[in-house]
Amino acid sequence: MVEPPRSTPAHLAVLDGLRGIAIFIVLWYHVWEWNWLSASFALFGHQISFQVIPETGFTGVDLFFFISGFVLFYPYARTIFEGVPLQTLAHYAYRRFIKIVPSYYLQLLILTPWIVAAFSGAMLLKVYVTHLLFIHNWFHDIFGTVNGVLWTLAVEVQFYVVFPALCWCFRRWPFATFAGMVAIANAYRLWKAPCCLGDYVVQSQMPAFLDLFASGMLAAWLFMWLRTNVSGLQRWQHAWTALAIAGFALYGWLLYGLFKLRVVDNWQYLWNDSHLTLLGLTFVLITVSSCLAAFWWRATLANPLFVFLGVISYNLYLWHQLIATFFAKHWFPLPRTENFDTDRLWQWTYLVVTVAVSIGVSSLITYAFERPLLKKGFKAIVDLFPRREPVAAATPATNGRRTPT
């Protein structure tokens, strides 16, 4: 007898854990760029090194792109396999807007004094217009001028624009659409490699990452297909756990290969051209297997620290590099010595203060601004300004005066 499939939850805690991992390694990477704190230490006479993580931490952005593809397609995968009501285009657009735009525009507003001080005239107008429209990654003279991480927001939003068409195709021809998106990404990277290998603007355009978004969409489709078409999945939870661990081992192996390549010019772009599709498929293995794995493995990924980091990940991503750069350039919290790479006191103080302030600022914006908007929409802003109740009109009998008792 085939057991009926249980309905899948609309929210998967494993995805929160993966977001936490993504922002953790990106944060580590950007802080390490300023303090060069070694991740090597001695243990029982053996040298242990995690240096591969901070020096390849920019791959956390690739994981974010993958997660976006999964999260965007997951409601449609539930529609296909469980008959959940189809999400309307209006609802999709609203959810993307309310999640991304307000916190992003808030940052631009807060940074306005610095932006106005740095630019003027036509250039100032160009900076604002391109950032407001999420097209700032198209221009060499604008790229990275306001905040070095914002190019990824432009890539995300540009993908949001084309997603409805890609989703329509993916719902009907999942594997063909996946193959097409992978082909476009690899064709773009191969096309631009001979002339523009070191051109960070050309290499940072949305088509170059389509295979990562496609891998996320495929992972959502595969997870739902397995949930509804394979009986007795619970009996195989330990096998799925082993596959998830193998997926992380493969991820580590890929990062180690990238780490060894860092002595070569334009090493990140060279590696991307030949490995991004494999990295996306590795994320598929990790995510699908983890979602079907034993409870202890899912709980390990969705531990309170990673879930917390996942919740604040968007604002932490927006603010952490600005804060890290400001502290480093203003010699705060301690003056940076000439040989700062061996000044352990400065390195650790800078690390602790930068991470603490970044998490504090991000938590404040997330819980006081972003989450109320996600929960209530723009009504959350209206509720900040309570309307006064109208004063009751005086009756003729009392002429507006209290009657003595």
Query: 21-38, pLDDT tens digit by residue?
Result: 999 999 999 999 999 999
Give the pLDDT band of residue 152 (cuts 50, 70, 90). very high
Task: Give per-residue pLDDT as tens, 38-56.
Answer: 998 877 778 889 999 999 9
pTM score of the predicted model:
0.91
**Long-range own/partner contacts, residues 375-382 (CB < 8 A, 24 or more apart):** 377/94, 377/98
b vs e for 250-264, b when ≥16 Cβ sit within 10 Å of the residue's Cβ?
bbeebbeebeeeeee
Q: Out of 18-22, 181-185, 190-194, 354-358, which region has the weakest mean confidence (pLDDT)?
A: 190-194
- Region of 362 (left: φ > 0; alpha: ψ -120 to 50; beta: rest) is alpha
Q: Cα separation of 345 and 306, whole Å?
A: 27
Q: What is the mean pLDDT of the chain?
A: 91
Number of Cβ within a 10 Å radius of residue 88: 9
Query: To the nearest 10°, the Cα dihedral for 243, 244, 250, 252?
Result: -150
**359 in Cβ contact with 316 (< 8 Å):** yes
pLDDT the model gives residue 383:
65
Over range 8-23, report the average pLDDT: 93
Angle between helices 313-329 and 304-311 (to 10 degrees): 80
Beta carbons of 340 and 53 less than 8 angstroms apart: no
Residue type, 283: F
**Terminal Cα distance for the chain, rounded:** 79
Q: What local confidence, expressed as pLDDT, does residue 6 receive?
A: 60
149's tokens: 């991480």
The pLDDT of residue 2 is above 90: no
